[in-house]
Amino acid sequence: MTARETALRILLEIDTMRKSEEVLNRMLEQSGLERNDRALVRELVSGTLKYRLQCDFIIAHFYKHDYAKAATVLKNILRLGVYQLLHLDRVPRSAAVNESVKLARKYKGDHLSRLVNGLLRKISTETVHLDRWCATKTDEERLSITHSYPAWLTGRWIARYGLEQAEAMLAHGNLPPATGYRINHLKTDPEKLFALPALSGARWLEDDLSNFFFSKEFMQLEPLLKEGVVSVQNPTQGLACLLAAPEPGSIVYDMCAAPGGKSTFMAELMGNKGRIIALDRSAGKIERLASNAKALEITIIEAREGDALSFDPECSADTILLDAPCTGTGVLGRRAELRWRTSPEKLQELVQLQASMLDRAADLLKSGGILVYATCSVEPEENEQQVEAFLKRHESFVTEKSIFTLPGSREGFDGGFAVRFRKKEG
């Protein structure tokens, strides 16, 4: 398959509620494509997912029939074409149109290939006038279209953060996400690591986050990743582990551990001394977690398969980390498909699940122990309001510290929330 057909097949599979990164990695491994083509696939999938609503709005302006009734494969072919025409300057216009026509012919026949050809040839930066088309719309509708987010979410963010901040968050989510790396102190130290030529252009963070740096040189860092000297992790995710601050020799329970970045970071903070029970419902994810720990030369992680609401670790924990399932509104630039899967109804379902998980964690924690609750969400129902409700249900817990980051509020940082509770003695 060509790069564009691979991208199309990935988009179709993601439409069946699969996670974009998992589908992307699996299909690229099977594709046999060269490095440059693999990079093009990643760009096409990520960009088309992000700009899906905007692409649909534009296509509907030029589509002669009822676009809502078009076949899913046709919609994704058109979206891929429009994304390339309007957002990828390096792709020649002829290539964007002709390759889309070839896909339409292969998947939908000659008739619809002619439709795709005629429609895409009408679309360009000169014929698309989003500002004019959105001039009479509300701020919620306008931002939804121009930044390609669900209107209900843009409305929430405007109401909570104001128009300027909301638009900055929306714009940030359409930028290429920064790649953060965590230094494995079990294998190296920062001074030694940053003397390497591969890290000459890296941006090393300071103070409590000195374990982390940002770099755009992924290829140069591949050997260090394979050796387990560094791991890919955004520093926002690391903040929850630093908040937990597990002691060497202690017992830690990571209730929703996959893909394992937080478990392995806590093990590094503990000097690989103690015990970490890392739980996830997926056997495949648990297998990968164990493999990642081995690459990092971490031996204290016990990767277990099970449901956090019913699993019994058969011991009380000194520290529990609950990185709870959430809407993911702090990482929509990294996981674009979540824009189209999250809804007000889904939010309420997740809030109930988070509360049940917090109650379970409270039962499993030792007196005097630490519970850290974390999300990659910026929604108050999942964060501050969840904390307030938990404290009302559990008077034996007190809040010691919390951290909240908005997408883009610090260069390269994802949005997220974490709070540290302590269980009173007795």
Q: Which of the residues are catalytic?
A: 376
Q: How far apart are CA 81 and CA 4, in angstroms?
A: 10
Closest CA to 265 of 336, 183, 204, 327: 183
Give the angle 138-139-142 at the CA atoms, nearest 5°.
85
User: What are phi and psi for residue 372, nearest 5 degrees?
Assistant: -110, 125
What order of strands is seen across the sheet that includes strand 365-375?
A: 301-305, 275-280, 251-254, 317-323, 365-375, 416-423, 397-405
- Distance, C-alpha 64 to centroid of its chain: 36
List of E strands, 296-364: 301-305, 317-323
Contact 266, 330 (CB under 8 A): no
Main-chain dihedrals φ then ψ at residue 203, nearest 5 degrees: -110, 105
Q: What is the 3 state secondary structure string of 49-111?
A: HHCHHHHHHHHHHHCCCCHHHCCHHHHHHHHHHHHHHHHCCCCCHHHHHHHHHHHHHHHHCHH
Q: What would you measure as the largest C-alpha separation in the chain, in angstroms?
A: 75
Cα angle at 169 between 163 and 171, to 5 degrees? 100
Q: Give the type of residue at 297.
A: E
| Nearest-angstrom CA–CA distance, 407 and 275 | 33
Looking only at the bridges linking them, the beta strands covering 230-232 and 180-183 are antiparallel
Phi, psi of 323 (to 5 degrees): -90, 90
Q: Which DSSP category does 264 fall into? A: H
List, in sequence order, every residue forming a beta bridge with 273; answer none if it has no partner: none
The distance from CA 23 to its chain's CA centroid, rounded to whole angstroms, is: 14
Q: Where are the beta strands (DSSP E) in 251-347?
A: 251-254, 275-280, 301-305, 317-323
